[in-house]
Amino acid sequence: MTGMVPLLEEILQKKEVRSADGTPILLHSAISPPEGALLQRLIAQKRPVVTLEIGLAFGVSALFICEALSKAGGSRHIVIDPTQESGWQGIGLRHLEEAGFGPLVDFRQQESQSALPQLVADGVGIDFAFVDGWHTFDHVLVDFFYIDRLLRVGGIVAFDDASLPAIHRICRYIATNRQYRSCAEAGGGRSKRLAARVLCRVTRQSATLRRLVQSRFAEPDEELGFFSDSDLVAFEKISDDTRNWDFDRDF
């Protein structure tokens, strides 16, 4: 953890944060150091100007992002979290201020389904997004829909908790239906399934069988660039949406 912002290093070492009155609170919601390092590598490679994050909580991921963004010469980190005060005692925002990242942060205390369309309407463009908000399939799909409209070609969108069924399905949708490629993943490959790999090889030999089996067996996660147990998956935007109005593909 050498070279980290001191506050971030302290939080990760102690595995706790403190409320405004100094009461210690267990660090029960945060990305892991390897995930944070991955986000920082991606930001260092892409050198984004504007980044966006859905879900602030205690601010651990935002500290990783803002540290890398400031080193890359970026100017703005948009953070969306409707419960930062009511659910997290404002601790995430306080951490960003204490670490000196206040001038970078554009905080929106709104639900993402309200904040993101407004950013689109305002003509905002972003280069990097990290999604770690409400984890149901419909909410994450709506988040991605609007992030895609904000994200410049060549930009990156990353999803935390990608092993959860809903977010795993979103990752498969993006990899199979949209002009994105998986460019990084963290924590995956722990539980490769032999049966799935065998079925994949068999279905390649039979168009009829491919139609009968589910897409996730005919085209397994590994071929899409991630794993079913990946903790975090990142995608690079290859081009803007070019699908026909009636396009459909199983995922």
- Percent of all residues in the chain with a pLDDT value above 90, rounded to a whole number: 79
Average pLDDT over residues 92-121: 97
pLDDT value, residue 131: 98
Q: What does the pLDDT read at residue 247?
A: 93
Strand partners, 141: none
- Mean pLDDT score of the chain: 91
In a 3-state reduction of DSSP, which class is residue 5? Answer: coil
> Residues 23-50: what's their mean pLDDT?
96
Res 212: pLDDT: 52
Report residue 219's pLDDT band, with 50, 70 and 90 as the boundaries: confident
Residue type, position 192, single letter: K
- Report pTM: 0.88
The residue with greater pLDDT, 95 or 217, is: 95
State the pLDDT at residue 1.
45
- Ordered by where they begin, the domains of the chain are 6-191+228-237 (3.40.50.150)
Average pLDDT score over residue span 151-176: 96
**DSSP letter, residue 229:** T
Question: What confidence tens digit (pLDDT) does each residue in 227-238 have?
Answer: 889 999 999 999
**What is the rounded average pLDDT of the residues 179-206?**
70
- Residue 114: closest CA among 86, 81, 66, 137: 81
CA dist list (Å): 153 to 4, 86, 192: 30, 36, 32
- Cα–Cα dist 208/95, whole Å: 56
